[in-house]
């Protein structure tokens, strides 16, 4: 708390007026980062009308956000390591909130006949969410990759699958 107070040039007691503990200050930092990521995704996907472009922009923005703000990846790692007793990490709380929007988004695409009618929306959300979440960590640990290239690869595999037309027809 001393370092934070010195850095922002306020008395340590002032910090305690807003954050009664180091844990609450830490979690507020994680929460703020996740809020900024969600705002960036919403702004990116709102910039286009095409639903598949919205998905692409959301994925690219997510990967770009964490590539440009590696400190938030570190905060997520530290939160899991230090606060294991928490019911739900901050990341998943924000992810659950975002799912409300995306669940309706994908249901609309199913209703419009643009996605398979038998697809389970929550399974789709989990699959895409877990792919980009894992990609974000891999990028952080192994070095930056092109978010645009990764978005294209993820969507190609998710939208088109890995089977050839011949194999799909045989299944």
Give the domain CATH number at 79.
1.10.357.10
Q: What is the mean pLDDT of the chain?
A: 90
Q: Give the residue-averaged pLDDT of 68-80.
A: 94
Give pTM, 2 decimals: 0.87
Does 54 score more than 90 pLDDT? yes
Cβ contact 23:33 at 8 Å: no
Q: Is residue 14 part of a domain?
A: no
Q: Is residue 4 part of a domain?
A: no
Token pair of 95 as six digits = 């992810």
Residue 20 is predicted with a pLDDT of: 83
Q: What is the pLDDT of residues 115-171, one digit of tens each?
A: 999 999 999 999 999 999 999 999 999 987 788 899 999 999 998 889 998 998 887
Q: Is residue 7 part of a domain?
A: no
Q: Is residue 44 part of a domain?
A: yes
Confidence of residue 1 (pLDDT cuts 50, 70, 90): low
- Which residues neighbour 104 within 8 Å (Cβ) at sequence distance 6 or greater? none
Q: Give the residue-averaged pLDDT of 6-21.
A: 76
Closest CA to 32 of 3, 69, 61: 69
Q: Is residue 36 part of a domain?
A: yes
Q: Is residue 67 part of a domain?
A: yes
Domain region containing 123: 28-170
Q: Is residue 19 part of a domain?
A: no
Does 5 score more than 70 pLDDT? no
Number of domains in the chain: 1
Cβ contact 89:76 at 8 Å: yes
Q: What is the pLDDT of residues 87-121, one digit of tens each?
A: 788 899 999 999 999 999 999 999 999 999 999 99
Q: Is residue 12 part of a domain?
A: no
């Amino acid at each position: 708390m001393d370092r934070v107070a010195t850095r922002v040039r306020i008395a340590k007691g002032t910090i305690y007026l807003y954050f009664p503990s180091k844990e609450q200050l830490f979690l507020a930092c994680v929460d703020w980062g996740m809020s900024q990521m969600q705002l960036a995704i919403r702004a990116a996907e709102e910039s286009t009308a095409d639903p598949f472009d919205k998905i692409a922009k959301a994925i690219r923005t997510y990967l770009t956000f964490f590539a440009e703000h590696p400190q938030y990846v570190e905060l997520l790692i530290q939160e899991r390591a230090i606060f294991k007793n928490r019911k739900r990490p901050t990341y998943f709380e924000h992810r659950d909130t975002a799912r409300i929007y995306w669940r309706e988004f994908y249901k609309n695409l199913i209703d419009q006949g643009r996605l398979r009618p038998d697809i389970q929306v929550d399974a789709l959300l989990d699959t895409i969410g877990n792919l980009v979440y894992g990609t974000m960590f891999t990028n952080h640990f192994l070095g930056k990759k092109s978010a645009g290239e990764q978005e294209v690869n993820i969507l190609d595999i998710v939208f088109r699958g890995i089977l050839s037309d011949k194999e799909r027809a045989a299944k």
